[in-house]
Amino acid sequence: MQRCDYQLSQLDVLEAESIHIFREVAAEFERPVLLFSGGKDSLVMLRLAQKAFWPAPIPFPVMHVDTGHNFPEVMEFRDRRVAELGIRLVVASVQDAIDSGRVTEQKGRRASRNRLQITPLLDAIEEHQFDAAFGGARRDEEKARAKERVVSFRDEFGQWDPKNQRPELWNLFNTRITQGEHVRVFPLSNWTELDIWDYVRREELELPSIYFAHTRRVFERDGLLLDAETGYANRGDDEPEFDASVRYRTVGDASCTGAVKSNATSLEEVIAEIAATRITERGQTRADDRTSEAAMEDRKKEGYF
């Protein structure tokens, strides 16, 4: 909140910076789109976009890259939020990409559709001629993301070249591209996980129910608690399922997103647990980042979020 000595709280500074980014991109690009998963980061992005253009509506659609392996609670939430805001939802479907032969489903127990999102994402960007896609990635999440620009250039193949990034100084962003290229824009670059939760509390943002403790059928694999209810995680006979009180710290594909054991049913309790945790968000919950030290960098170079 505003203080008498012309000093803003850090959440207010982050909010002002993010709003500046939204307006700059809306002013300088023809066809932006906001990547929306129904997760906490994309919900914070939506709230910031609302504020940036208020009292006018958000001047761009949202896009969900749908793996087909979603938590039903999150899908229900996504549709309700989109209807409330009256914005257009574009769905880029991994299942369609598989059915039409553009991508091939991975095989085996650890098969995940996470990496398969890249093709439908880039196809949808091309089809709709989007020239800027807002993503909710944060620099504190992952070491490759820590090196990424706020306005991050993608060539005509959707590729990221980490060694050839445009310097970003002051609050000036280079938004120039040529036909067929696009940028990814990360308005939450400087937010930490705890900032997101503090903002959720301050703004009284509603979140999908799976962020709070609930009883779920789960099983354990590689130290992660994976969901056994949706059937997407290919549980083997040697992986016994059991009931546990869990919540999700991130919301992603149900085949590779782990739950954490928790009894935190209120926002205050969740924030207290997050603040006390000694393990990173992705390290605790994402199987996809465990394949190698540069897993995220490699996916990003190909066009991942």
**Out of 106, 127, 261, 279, the residue judged to bind other proteins by CB under 8 A:** 279
- Bridge partner residues of 74 (DSSP): none
How big is the site for other proteins, counted in residues (CB under 8 A)?
Answer: 75
User: CB 120 → other proteins: shortest distance, Å?
Assistant: 26
Where are the extended beta strands (E) located within the chain?
32-35, 62-66, 89-93, 132-134, 151-154, 182-185, 214-221, 224-227, 241-248, 259-261
Closer to other proteins by Cβ: residue 203 or 241: 203
* CB closer to other proteins out of 181 and 239: 181
**3 touches other proteins (CB under 8 A):** yes
Instruction: Pick the piece of the chain touching other proteins (CB under 8 A) from 51-59, 76-84, 93-101, 209-217.
Output: 51-59
Q: Rule CB under 8 A: is residue 84 a binding residue for other proteins?
A: no
Q: Check whether the bond before 55 is cis (ω within 30° of 0).
A: yes
Residue 101 binds other proteins (CB under 8 A): no
- To the nearest whole angstrom, how small is the minimum distance from the Cβ of residue 111 to other proteins? 24
**179 scored as a contact of other proteins (CB under 8 A):** no
Q: Which helix (H) or strand (E) holds 172?
A: none
Cβ–Cβ under 8 Å, residues 233 and 224:
no
What x-and-dash track marks residues 130-169 binding other proteins by CB under 8 A? ---------xx-xxxxxx--------------xx-xxxxx
CB nearer other proteins, residue 83 or residue 146: 146
Regarding 280 and contact with other proteins (CB under 8 A), the answer is yes
Stretches 50-58, 79-87, 204-212, 235-243: which one binds other proteins (CB under 8 A)?
A: 50-58
Q: How far is the CB of 276 from other proteins (least distance, A)?
A: 6
Q: For other proteins, which residue of 95, 174, 209, 230 counts as binding (CB under 8 A)?
A: 174
Q: Cβ of residue 288: shortest distance to other proteins, in angstroms?
A: 15
| Residue type, position 63, single letter | M
Pick 22 or 36: Cβ nearer other proteins: 22
Q: Which long-range contacts (CB under 8 A, 24 or more apart) does 289-295 make?
A: 289/142, 290/222, 294/144
**8 Å CB contact between 37 and 63:** no
Q: Which of 84, 104, 107, 170 binds other proteins (CB under 8 A)?
A: 170
Q: Does 107 bind other proteins (CB under 8 A)?
A: no
Considering only 194, 217, 236, 263, the residue that binds other proteins (CB under 8 A) is: 194
Tokens 């997760």 belong to 39
State yes or no: residue 200 binds other proteins (CB under 8 A): no
Alpha carbon distance, N-terminus to C-terminus of the chain? 32
Residue showing tokens 């909710």: 136
Closest approach of other proteins to the CB of residue 89, in Å: 19
Query: Tokens standing for 175?
Result: 């938004």
Least distance from other proteins to the Cβ atom of residue 153, Å: 8
Strand order in the sheet with 182-185: 89-93, 62-66, 32-35, 132-134, 182-185, 151-154
Give the residue among 64, 129, 61, 135 at the shortest CA–CA distance from 94: 64
Which of 190, 209, 230, 291 touches other proteins (CB under 8 A)? 190
| Residue 263 binds to other proteins (criterion: CB under 8 A) | no
Sign of CA dihedral 204, 205, 210, 211: negative
> 124 CB contacts (<8 Å, ≥6 apart)?
63, 65, 90, 92, 130
